[in-house]
Amino acid sequence: MYFGLSEEQESFQESLDKFLEDAAPLDLIQSYAHGENTSLPTDVHNGLIELGINSLILPEEYGGLGLDLLFAAATSQSLGAGIAPAPFTGSYVMAPLALIKAGSDTQKSEYLEAIGEANIHFGVGISEYIGAREDAGINIDGDKANGRALFVLDASEATHYLLADKNGTFCIVKSDDPGLTKIPLTTVDKTCGAQELLLQDCEAEILEGSIGDNTAIQTVIDAGRIMIAADSLGAAAIMIKKSVAYAKERKQFGRAIGSFQAVKHMCAQMAADLEPCYAMVWYAAHCQNHIPEEATLMACHAKAHVSEVATAVARTATEVHGGMGFTELLGLHYWFKRIGLNRQILGGPELVREEAANIQNF
């Protein structure tokens, strides 16, 4: 049985691809990474909002489109292909799902409608729940939050932060809270908008449905992992495309290097390894809405497997480009770094595979 995207989803991908090609070409990404053209993330974000990425999974009763997670995965795939320096996974997938699963009627009405109207967007910090560290963690006591959140997704320019403690309890903290200190993270991926947060007696609005029940946070983690896998999938596909194009143009000994058997094998192997990942990611996203008993396991498989395959593709694609693959001129390293960072976000392959094993009682 063929499992693929619908015509509507493919059409939306084409719209996203065209927009990112025009609004965020490689030269603008390069200038932003070098500290120039600092308005690029805002410009790209605003353009994506006009295309409706903020409303994809919001229920229709709150002004959204009411689409399933497969549509969001298709969107994330295009954003990865375009190395878009804009929020999506945390702001428009994980945060809305947390509110839908654990928010009160009042919180849903207030925040989901505001997300749909593009009046707010969330940064999301739940890494302490997945892999706590001794020097980090969020402590929620009554209506106050204290602690340190190490890797908050989509945090740049966020108006609110959705944070979780080690028990999976969600709280919302406003970005202008006087007790909040924001520390930009220096990562290899300059298109990443993650930050570290320090909280001291910050006003915290708790999502009551998440207290004593980890169902909500598991749903949020599963969705986040699928979005990241889809992002890496899109980035890896572009690296293969660029490798094939380069192999057709680059000449050695009077011949295009693509005519050499070794280069042919490298490109063919990348394509063969990546092709099954499409159906894996799409099926994992489909399970979130339609086959809940498989949802967490498939999210783990998709995140772990695509991370490994995309990493191998990134390495091989760089080898196909030879010494030029490492240069700023080609800019191939932006996709390479995106894939490398995605590999570790919300759990590296080893941690996620261990979770999958536990689910199956291995």
What band does 37 get if pLDDT is binned at 50, 70 and 90? confident
Count of structural domains, the chain:
3
End position of a domain, from candidates 69, 95, 116: 116
Convert the pLDDT of each residue in 110-142 to its tens digit. 999 999 999 999 999 998 888 767 778 899 998
Q: Would you list the DSSP string of 291-317?
A: -HHHHHHHHHHHHHHHHHHHHHHHHHH
Q: With beta carbons less than 8 A apart as the criterion, state whether 145 and 204 touch.
A: yes
In this structure, is residue 2 part of a structural domain?
no
Q: Give residue 123's pLDDT.
A: 96
CA 116, CA 109: separation in Å to the nearest integer? 11
Are both 178 and 265 inside the same structural domain? Answer: no
Are both 61 and 136 inside the same structural domain? Answer: no
355: left (phi over 0), alpha (psi -120 to 50) or beta: alpha
What band does 2 get if pLDDT is binned at 50, 70 and 90? low
Sequence-ordered list of residues with C-beta below 8 angstroms from that of 234, at least 6 positions apart, any chain: 76, 77, 78, 79, 80, 81, 82
Are both 343 and 258 inside the same structural domain? Answer: yes
In this structure, is residue 177 part of a structural domain?
yes
Q: Give residue 211's pLDDT.
A: 93
CATH of the domain at 282: 1.20.140.10
Are both 188 and 304 inside the same structural domain? Answer: no
Are both 344 and 259 inside the same structural domain? Answer: yes
Are both 224 and 299 inside the same structural domain? Answer: yes
Are both 223 and 347 inside the same structural domain? Answer: yes
End position of a domain, from candidates 210, 245, 263: 210
Are both 191 and 240 inside the same structural domain? Answer: no
Domain region containing 101: 7-116
DSSP secondary structure code for residue 122 in this structure: E
Convert the pLDDT of each residue in 78-121 to its tens digit. 999 999 999 999 999 999 999 999 999 999 999 999 999 999 99
